[in-house]
Structure 1
Amino acid sequence: MAEECLQQEKPYAFSSPSAVATLLTQLAMGQGSEDNINVILW
């Protein structure tokens, strides 16, 4: 999912890995995760 976000053409592309990490964190929280959410983009 992160790779797809970074490769999309503008205006839908995310400008940085940090923005993708934020999106992934928000998605995890939105699905009910509350404990120890970590996002590492390699």
Structure 2
Amino acid sequence: MVGADTLGNLAIVLRDLGKARDAEPLLRRALAINEQVHGPDHP
């Protein structure tokens, strides 16, 4: 299983390559994982 940090890092690389459309679902998945692990109010 890929962790939230890995997904976030990949999304940043894709964004920097001009592929923001491909990055967005990865960032959303990373956020969902972080919210599940830490709760929605975690900074």
TM interval, shorter chain, is 0.3 to 0.5
Q: Which has the higher contact order (CA 8 A, sep 6+)?
A: 2
